[in-house]
Amino acid sequence: MTDLRSSQERLKQQRDRLAGLLDAIPVPTVLVEFDKGEPIVKLPNQQFKQTFRLTGQELGGSSLDKLIVESAEYGQVHGINNQLQQGEPVCQEVERRTGDGELRTFLLNGSPLIDGGDEILATYIDITDRKLMEEELRRKTDELEDFANVVSHDLRNPLNVAIGHLDTIADKYDDQCIETIRSAHMRMQELIENILMLAKQGQRIEELESVSLTNCVNECWITAETENATLQIESSRTIHADGNRLRQLFGNLLRNAIEHGGDDVTVTVGDLDDGFYIEDDGPGIPEEDRTDVFEAGHTTTEVGTGFGLSIVKEIVEAHGWCITVTDGWEGGARFEITGVEILE
């Protein structure tokens, strides 16, 4: 009798110790044991009870699936349970219902407590708010692109008509005013294209590839339309990026350097610990203006549209990177992009 009492006391101590360990985990965690294919709750931590709004009495000895799984999710749950019972860990998004009927989205991580055992330790990280934010961001991005398409269409049609009439007049007259109007038309076309590009650059990047910084910068430099400027590349790195958007990023930064630094500007591209920089030896950007340079429409020249650096920022943020502007070694502008995944 004494041995039985001692064994029971040891089991209670072990259970209390395990409960303390589980309560120290800052996310909803539950220990279940499979019995005839059903995950029976053995020990939930406090976070689990609070998140799912269930008491220990409601949870203890009950089937976890019957408590928190919607009937429509039983097919998915059956696959998860089979995987866990075969000793394979699980990590996937699931929808689960709380005790008061609210349906929420969780990232489920589950794995056997010991190899070959029936006990499973599972954590449920609530990602409902994150998913809602992603959906809202996706909706706003779609709305912005639709708006940009409508605006550009409504602007392009009358602009094309104006360009056509101007070409007709230009065949008959040779006047400086015609060239001024033509320049204005070209600027309007550039603004329309920039509006469209700005709307699209904020979209989340789905696919990344290996991109050589040297090759990417050289491709963009060829189209920079300058004969006297100098390019220096002090990098041989390969990074993980969307190649098309990275070319747009460098294209805009190179044009920005030439517009502000002049045709004989020297542009340098080099490495940072977790990224790269592009700087010039032009006049630089005053410190008081650096918070505004990435705003759409902000420009300090007559030839710029004010969208180039806004597009750069959208591309950077779509990659999950960061961009800052500071002084270059020669006193010009230096843009530093960090948070980049370096491959080589």
The CATH number linked to 79 is 3.30.450.20
Residue where one domain finishes, among candidates 183, 204, 225? 204
Q: Are residues 252 and 292 in the same domain?
A: yes
Domain count for the chain:
3
Q: Are residues 109 and 15 in the same domain?
A: yes
Alpha-carbon gap, residue 328 to 270, rounded angstroms: 12
Q: For the stretch 196-220, what's the b/e string if a residue is b when 16 or more beta carbons lie within 10 angstroms of its beta carbon? A: bbbbbbbbeeeeeeebbbeebbeeb
Strands 275-280 and 333-338 turn out to be antiparallel
Q: Are residues 69 and 141 in the same domain?
A: no
Rg (Cα) of the chain, in Å, rounded?
A: 30
SS3 assignment, position 291: coil
Residue where one domain finishes, among candidates 204, 239, 265? 204
Q: Are residues 155 and 66 in the same domain?
A: no
Q: Are residues 221 and 330 in the same domain?
A: yes
Alpha-carbon gap, residue 261 to 142, rounded angstroms: 36
Q: What is the pLDDT of residue 229?
A: 87
Residue where one domain finishes, among candidates 101, 126, 151? 126
Q: Quick one: CA dihedral 144, 145, 146, 151, positive or negative?
A: positive
Q: Which residues of the chain have pLDDT under 50?
A: 297-298, 303, 305
Q: For the stretch 48-66, what's the b/e string if a residue is b when 16 or more beta carbons lie within 10 angstroms of its beta carbon? A: bbebbebeeeebeebebbe
Q: What is the pLDDT of residue 4?
A: 53
Q: Are residues 219 and 137 in the same domain?
A: no
304: containing domain = 207-344
How would DSSP label each residue in 49-75? Answer: HHHHT--HHHHTTSBHHHHH--GGGHH
SS3 assignment, position 327: strand
Separation in Å, CA 55 to CA 8, 43, 45, 96, 108: 24, 11, 11, 16, 20
Q: Are residues 121 and 140 in the same domain?
A: no
Q: Are residues 194 and 300 in the same domain?
A: no
Q: Are residues 48 and 66 in the same domain?
A: yes
pLDDT digits (tens, 9 = 90+) for 231-281: 999 998 999 998 888 988 898 889 888 887 777 889 999 999 999 999 988
Q: Which tokens in the block code for residue 108? A: 């489920």
Q: Are residues 172 and 85 in the same domain?
A: no
The candidate with the shortest Cα–Cα distance to 65, out of 27, 21, 110, is 110
The CATH number linked to 168 is 1.10.287
Q: What is the pLDDT of residue 298?
A: 46
- Paired strand residues for 68: none
- Entry pTM: 0.50
Q: What is the pLDDT of residue 225?
A: 66
Separation in Å, CA 310 to CA 137, 177, 254, 317: 18, 32, 14, 11
Q: Are residues 232 and 275 in the same domain?
A: yes
Q: Are residues 52 and 102 in the same domain?
A: yes
Share of the chain residues as helix, strand and coil, in percent rounded to the nearest 5: 50, 25, 30
Going by the DSSP 8-state scheme, the letter that residue 84 receives in this structure is H
Q: What is the pLDDT of residue 297?
A: 47
Q: What is the pLDDT of residue 15?
A: 67
The CATH number linked to 322 is 3.30.565.10
